Amino acid sequence: LKLQEPLSVLRSTELFAPMGNCFAGVKKARGVPKYKVVVCGGAGGIGQPLAMLMALDDRVTEVCVQDVTMAMVPAAGVAADLGHLERPAKVSSFAIDPAKKPIDQLRDCLTGAHVVLVPAGLPRKPGMTRDDLFDKNASIAKGLVEACAEYCPKAVIGLIVNPVNSIVPAMCEFYKKKGLNPRCIVGITTLDVVRANKFVSERTGVHVADIDVPVIGGHAGITILPLFSQVPAMAKVSAEEIKAMDARTQDAGTEVVQAKDGKGSATLSMAYAGARLGKAVLSGLEGDSANAVECAYVAVLEDGKKIGTTLPYFTTKVKFGRDGAVEDVRPIGKLNEYEKGRLAEVEKQLQTEAQKGIDYAARL
């Protein structure tokens, strides 16, 4: 570090530059903070580092750490800790009683929010079926989304609630029924992109900042489809290696669970990925189109054939607009024969999972 430089310069350039895309826009956004970010589940394993990463963005005027009253770490404690960071953002907290409806408790927390990031819900436990997990987490998501519809209907809601492939369609359809824009709700699939980028960099030696792997489909198992054919650095990698890297991208979460010996899952990398998505939304609000594009799981409202899918919900590159919501869903682009075969597999599985969410919303 050049110690003769002012500390403010060191903080914004030398210290944050190595963090890559997660801190895109931090240096140039040193003006007056404008945006309020709420992290629901903010006292949890993903929520705490996610709240910190958003608090480090100078475009943010307030980060509200929201969780339940019986959280292992009180939301107020997380806020007090983050409140000591030397950044402009005020950090507040809000704890709710899960026995009561979120809509009856979250007025002060959500009013004025521009971005609501939701790393909430229960993990799948031994003996719990996927249907059990969906029923419990859909109820949690519905309570939070219902409150957002009331108090911050134009805010972008980024969901990290499993199973994402079903929860996001359920919440988007719920928003439609309320006459709101379903493009305000996105499933955060950015971690699949982050992992694919890192794996390509490790394999090819190309700096990760120069790699951008589009990851389409959904956000679980075989529905995750990295398009390595669209990455120049992969041009000389064999078909067999690409197939193995595809499988590794799908199963990367298991790598982390096994490495943590069953005592945790991907929390830090997920927080990084969630912050990347959150910062893209902020860039859209700022009119910074170049930094407002990320892959996300969204409602396909246009002619799906133009995007390259027959499904009503799909992950592809999207651009966030000046009102925060997704304003452009990008076509998936050219696929090779292997990827065409995988896409058919993805769509078959994803159709069933998305329909589960659509059916849930129809019963509300």
- DSSP codes joined into one string, 78-139: HHHHHTTSSSS-EEEEEEE-TTS-GGGT-HHHHTT-SEEEE--SPPP-TT--HHHHHHHHHH
Does the annotation count 207 as an active-site position? no
What gap in Å lies between CA 203 and CA 230, rounded to an integer?
16
- DSSP codes joined into one string, 5-37: S-HHHHIIIIITGGGGGGGTTTTTT-S---EEE
Amino acid at 39: V
Which of 10, 7, 19 lies closest to 209 in space, CA to CA?
19
Q: Is the dihedral of CA 101, 103, 107, 112 positive or negative?
A: positive
- Please pick, among 84, 114, 207, 219, the residue that the annotation labels catalytic: 219
Amino acid at 10: L
Contact 227, 333 (CB under 8 A): yes
Contact 55, 82 (CB under 8 A): yes
What gap in Å lies between CA 292 and CA 295, rounded to an integer?
10
Q: Which residues are catalytic?
A: 219
